[in-house]
Amino acid sequence: MPTDTRSTVGELARDLAWLEEHCRTEPDLAAHAACLRLASALARNVVGPFLEDQPAKPLHVAVVGGAGAGKSTVVNFLAGAAVAESNPQAGFTRHPTAFLPADAAFPWPSYLGFMGPLTRISEERPANLDEDVYQVRRIPSSSNGSNPLADFVIWDCPDMTTWASVGYVSRLMEVAALADVIVYVASDERYNDEAPTQFLHLLIRAGKAVVVMLTKMEVANAETLVGHFKQVILGGLPKLPDGATPAVPVIAFPQIPAQMRNDPAASPFRAQLVNQVLVQCEWDVAARQRTVANAAKYLATAGDGLLEVARRDLAEF
């Protein structure tokens, strides 16, 4: 990539990050901080690397959702092994963790600015470490044949507990921007919580490919709950330019026994989840081009709204 283009992308990411920090200091502007962090991270983690001709592999899947929704269980089902820490304490996961196959054929991304303010830590640390860091762990080699997600990195993310982009929520936005596919996890008890729903709307506006996992319901209630979620939550999503509602697949993930959670590779639910992720990424190059094109479109169309937080202060000054 030409030096001037790299410089321009970096400057855009820094300017958006500066606006984000500004919003954090103004209570009535705090809600804008998450949008600005997402925009900054899209420039840094998606647009910049593409202009530098970085390879499409690996593709990134981010598992996100509200507190106690069952995100770590979903990460384990994607990985086919019990690798993510689960804890009944709400908000236990405080920084992102990336899981990739032990024998991954792709190099770990090394381009300038990757993951922005987050530092990669070399030693394994518990998920509740509350610092601006991320860690990378390996998924044990499978004895059940080929891994359908061999070209993917699976991210276990902090909870979506507040709309204001502070602390660990801003770390979540860094991974959400990077992701080629978002797996949005919601439990039957709290699938209508305000903050996660706002995040879902933002991710849809940013053009992210989303798969919804509804967890913890009784099998007999699954069909009713899925229908209600589509009507109440997905029915309120931002419309596409043609007026249509975005197509977001919803998978029911009922309560499962501990034995099945401890051996996710053998669960019949895993195949359905993995297949939906693969449908979103039938070809790695096309999937990455979609991620980049939608990131550029979001930055172009959301520009006025993102800058509005600065215009008000300039007018007052």
Which CATH number do you get for residue 203?
A: 3.40.50.300
104-108, 162-166, 174-178, 181-185: segment of lowest average pLDDT: 162-166
State how far the Cα of 24 lies from the Cα of 32, in Å rounded to an integer. Answer: 9
Higher pLDDT, 246 or 233: 233
What 8-state DSSP symbol labels residue 83? -
- Map residue 136 onto helix, strand or coil: strand
pLDDT of 317 > 70? The answer is no
Q: Is residue 179 assigned to a domain? A: yes
Q: Is residue 313 assigned to a domain? A: no
pLDDT of 3 > 60? The answer is no
Higher pLDDT, 10 or 227: 227
- Map residue 88 onto helix, strand or coil: coil
pTM of structure: 0.89
Give which of 69, 70, 71, 68 is closest to 97, Cα–Cα. 71
Q: Is residue 307 assigned to a domain? A: no
Q: Is residue 28 assigned to a domain? A: no
pLDDT of 176 > 90? The answer is yes
2-11, 96-105, 273-282: segment of lowest average pLDDT: 2-11
pLDDT digits (tens, 9 = 90+) for 191-207: 777 788 888 888 998 89
Q: Is residue 189 assigned to a domain? A: yes
pLDDT digits (tens, 9 = 90+) for 89-100: 666 778 899 999
Give which of 314, 277, 301, 282 is closest to 42, Cα–Cα. 301
Q: Which domain holds residue 117?
A: 56-283
What are the C-alpha distances in Å from 42 to residues 37, 62, 173, 296?
8, 14, 10, 8
Contact between 94 and 158 (Cβ < 8 Å) = yes
Instruction: Give 60's strand partners.
Output: 153
pLDDT of 105 > 60? The answer is yes
Q: Is residue 51 assigned to a domain? A: no
Q: Is residue 101 assigned to a domain? A: yes
Q: Is residue 70 assigned to a domain? A: yes
List all residues 6 or more positions away from 299 whose beta carbon is below 8 Å from its beta carbon: 12, 39, 42, 43, 47
pLDDT of 277 > 70? The answer is yes
Give 3-state DSSP helix, strand, coil % of the chain, rounded to 5. 45, 15, 40
pLDDT digits (tens, 9 = 90+) for 244-266: 777 899 998 887 777 667 777 77
Question: Pairing mode, if any, of strands 97-101 and 152-156?
Answer: antiparallel
Please provide the average confidence, as pLDDT, over all residues in the chain: 82
Report the domain count for the chain.
1
